[in-house]
Amino acid sequence: MRLRRFIYTVTMYLLTPVILYRLAIRGLRYPEYFSRWRERFGFFRDPKIRDSIWIHAVSMGEVNAAMPLIDALMKRYADTPFVITTVTPTGSERVRRVYGERVFNVYLPYDLPASIRRFLERVRPRLAVVMETEIWPNLFFECQARSIPLIVANARLSEKSFRGYGPVRPLAKSALASARYVAAQSATDAGRLRDLGAEPERLGIFGNLKYDMSVPAELDAQAHQMRATWGARRPVWIAASTHEGEEESVLEAHAAVLHRFPDALLLLVPRHPERFKPVVQECREAGFATRTRSEDRMAASDTQCFVIDTLGELLRFYAAADVAFVGGSLVPIGGHNVLEPAALSVPVVVGPQTFNFVEITASLIDAGAALRIADADELGATVIELLADAPLRKRLGTAARAAFEREQGGVLRTLEIVARVLDTPAGTNSAG
């Protein structure tokens, strides 16, 4: 295993110039990738904290999933400093917007031993909580060497990701086996994680933390206010977390919707900030009267497309929509979080590509809470069907909310494991 780790580490060092090149290319489209690059090698100001609880969440989606757990941990361990790492600027921005100075936020360093050591020496965690599928061998081994207990929370592993480990699977297996506990989302995830290397006695099925997201009480009032501004009786649908290759299909669907409902409004929310300007241009070139959240703040009565080119506001616009199409599902991205509209009783439409959310999506469809379309050609017709049938929308929305509430409780179960791990004497490797 030492030889495997040596080869892996050398490969990571050799790939560093390529990684930096990709970072620079992304920075040309989204300048935030240029800033704070030293953090990616473990160089940042010493926050002068010790015995922190450290949570790692890759991007905005993982941050949103982690928030119920973070909030619960901050309430239970109020006197403990918290560190939250991300990989993307959108994730970091979300952390800073929600938690501000209550947490110390930096980028997670690349999986290079020296970079990881610099990071750990500065934040000195008493516990590491890694969200979902972030299995970085050097990170896991360095935590083990320093007797820092590591929990993989909300753990999931798709069949595609499982196969993707390929030649590094033995190393990933050893790394995952070093985790103090792995809290899997589902039985399927638990089976794959066990096959990858999680120790059966430190592996459990805890459900998806996304089900424990809180719905702000003021959302309903905000939604009514927005709809009053752009026209209270207008049909409104939202295409959320869309990717390149999907927006064109969404706009074609909206053209069909407008033919049936001339006053309909599309709320279009690109997944990545670098897509904001191109999507706005695409809407205008397609001939739609278009406004943006950043420049116009709100849609008007004659707006046909309203592009949400800001971060952290998706939930409030879900609340103001009659129908929600969740993107990343018409292209081979694997889909995105369908639970946010479900929690708000909004009917959900997804495409065929939902391999990253197989069980959640299937549970909503089986509960009569969501509709799956076979391809982009069906999107317009399906949205029209839902906008034309208020009882159907009501039925789907009620079923979606019921399915959401049925699966809650993952945060409390994860908190129990955290408490057991923190109460376990140093040097042992059991959650109790």
Per-residue pLDDT of 281-316, as tens digits, reads 999 999 999 999 999 999 999 999 999 999 889 999
- Does residue 68 lie in a domain region? yes
Distance CA 271, CA 244 (A): 9
pTM of the model: 0.85
**For residue 83, what are the CA distances in angstroms to 42, 147, 225, 338, 362?**
14, 18, 36, 28, 34
**Which residues, including other chains, have CB under 8 Å from residue 378's CB and lie 6 or more apart?**
none
By percentage, how much of the chain surpasses pLDDT 70? 98
Give the model's confidence band at 390: pLDDT under 50 very low, under 70 low, under 90 confident, else very high: very high
Structure confidence by residue, pLDDT tens digits, 1-35? 788 999 999 999 999 999 888 888 877 777 777 77
How do beta strands 265-270 and 305-307 pair?
parallel
Give the model's confidence band at 428: pLDDT under 50 very low, under 70 low, under 90 confident, else very high: low
Among candidate residues 357, 351, 358, the one with its CA nearest the CA of residue 378: 351
- Does residue 265 lie in a domain region? yes
Catalytic residue among 32, 39, 62, 385: 62
Whether residue 253 sits in one domain with residue 167: no
pLDDT of residue 426: 54
62 an active-site residue? yes
Whether residue 284 sits in one domain with residue 351: yes
- Does residue 213 lie in a domain region? no
Domain range for 135: 2-207+409-423
pLDDT of residue 303: 97
Distance CA 418, CA 67 (A): 15
- Does residue 224 lie in a domain region? yes
CATH classification at residue 277: 3.40.50.2000
Whether residue 168 sits in one domain with residue 283: no
Structure confidence by residue, pLDDT tens digits, 225-259? 999 999 999 999 999 999 999 999 999 999 999 99
User: Looking at the predicted structure, is the pLDDT value of residue 392 above 80?
Assistant: yes
